[in-house]
Structure 1
């Protein structure tokens, strides 16, 4: 018998130009294969995972093995414990089908779909039957398959013994069927095209998943199956050079079709996220209804399987019979699906808050804060002149009134529930994102941040209790832009070419990064992936440096870092382990990247921290360290992204009266360090 060429779990038989399945039992005990011995969970897993079916040809069969494996998990048995008798009975039935899998033959290419057969077919059988219900044109009769006689005494059919005249993939269509049960989910895809006035249908691939152990409703599982179909269609489109003129997604769940076709997406997160991905990958018009009895994907969602699924005339390999008919004879779709409203999982609105927004010019029509402010003042002036019979002079008071009204407008749009709650109950909801700010409403009804610095002297109220604005609101963006331009903050748009010294502090920071990378990467050529990982770690290190003074008392808040502005948190990553120079010679690229990151950290600390200590080559005296100074401790051997800081508790001068040693109070206790290893943090 032709052994064939093995690849990716399949066997190619060149003589027949067909594909078979590589089912090997070499590593599996014979008594388990023959059903004599009850397998353990470990042995059962070894058999099930030995079948490599990357295209999903055998999904109705392989999914049953995975369902049985899942049942062993539900029984809570150990790895080397025999499976229960009830599962063993189903296991033996599954093994009997496994032994017959090697008899299946599939065509290597789509055009030869009618060569599908089993090895044990009768030797004198005729050519494979033509597809059901060929579509004949009234002008030209459908062409019959052209067959060559078999050689005398031949017991197997070759690819040359029976062929069809090929007319190309005309009117190519992609059909996907999806279904789910409490046991499994499945999506299966077929090509449908016209060839010599005949309708041809070919199996492409399928994807199956077992249902999760956590109890999930059937409509949710059906939605997950629909997502499987959408992803499978996207993969097929990317991996094939031939593109279909139409795509059809067939589903027998009226609830899922209602979800997909409904424009109002007021659903729970599980439903909304999956509908969002389906919307990106498919079109609403692609989805159609198919009765369950005509849904071929149903065959791969059962916990039982019969070998007849893989017969030459089975719908699993040849596609549903209605695909061989004209589109007018396909299952009729419904306009209004009949669904259970409980299954739809709507998110209901608990209450509606009236915003009562003040009448101001639309901020979205302005690109300047001053222009918006002046336009609002003009509106007030017009009202004062026409309605209140006042002078309508635009002065500082009117500008202040306009600013307050615009701030209230922005706050009511961003935090309507919080403002409403503070007006009625004098507190905000525990789930409010403003809870940690202790918000309150001032005399003008403006939302401000609370705090514990009311007793601070000579500090204006606007500083002690700043106004709360949402950074995403257009008014807040206009205000930030206004003061950014007013303060003449530098950026890459204003610095002339070849003038990095104009960058000041941030260009100095870039220099430390370049210098450190030059040392770390000297005579090293890491791969692109390693370099990208290293640069990501470098970005995290640089943006994780502290910017402000924070108390070193246990439980106090962490220091403000650039990451707080970029990500909303310090984003301190966990230490992944200890790495040394031996990691640079391993094949594990991620360890190389981590070692290089550690080397960068050690070098960068030496480059950056000394810049915080003013140096004048000892030609002039500098302010010595004193008790109460907030300092960084320069320690290149500290873990990556670990910034040791504290407050000077005591200073110890040398014989020259210069401070040489200091005691520093940190969260870990009192540390004694050389003054050369300490950098004062500027506080003003």
Structure 2
């Protein structure tokens, strides 16, 4: 036998179109409900129908009291029944300390100790009780939160306390603040991850400084060109050795590719061509790399010897908008600026004076200790970047060779090599262990995933104008 077919009417479920769960705005819920209530009241009347196009305050208050009353009865049925019957509330009830009373609108109010404070409004002395985790409470919290321009928890709670008594008010407000899209933008934090291990290039030992280098720009510095002439901008081009942390400072007369190439060639002529270079993803660096490639290709086709080919440079560009990739030269830029500004002291200078100040700052930075200085007199002199550049400590040169009477080029060369080798052994023993600790970014957090919505930082706009972005692809690295 086949089961009888159910009628269509039996499958239809009655749905409350005015359920607060269906609304996202408290005032909209009140206005829609008030219009529906007026319509139903007018349908029951034959005369004296309300045909006004504006809702009155009385109508809105009646609808608001109706929703609050339904919420209180739904969440506290036993307490409400006991109060109506004049019986004591259950001992486990959270409303016992509030001394609950029911007013003329059948609303549960808190009978506070401010009863005799006649100068206070009635709602302050007898606030309406709102249960936690109810749709009505959520809409009210959202309304006060947005009316207060997304202020903090205390401001929203203080504004609501003038009319309502929230059970677990702070937790309820914080729950909404976690869902508020604007608050997420205002309180969003920069994504961080555990600090990565040092790249192999930072731990590579070489027999000379600046074999593996990094470059960055700083400035501008205004210099005078003469009486009655316009002042020109000059920039600091900083090269730093990734191993010894030595610096080489040059003046760049512009931010174009040619100016950078000239500064790069001047550095290479004195310190030697580096094997690998790291830089930010600036247009001047990108252009320099392209020109270097064209230069090398052209030289290969002509008369480049095998020895000249060994001077080719492998260039690495840091990702855009990622300054933490260039922390090794950003910290040196900060130190160089401090040293230069300490010498210049906002003076009106010429190009020659700026060059002198930059050279003095270079010597000062390269004389700084990079290892721990002990107080024992028999310990070695503290290690500085100058040891790797030309074997001196800010003016104290390397001791002369033992064979000072009879000059021997071969012995002298081996002696210098032993000194350099000694410095690199000290570098491995004294300086490298100081890089082991992570000074920040200690906690591991969730990595970004595809389709994550993020807030894109824009340095040229205020935080409220930052645009939203969606992750479409990931490029993980070490």
TM-score, normalised relative to structure 1: 0.20
Q: Relative contact order, CA 8 A, sep 6+: which one is greater?
A: 2
TM-score, normalised relative to structure 2: 0.29
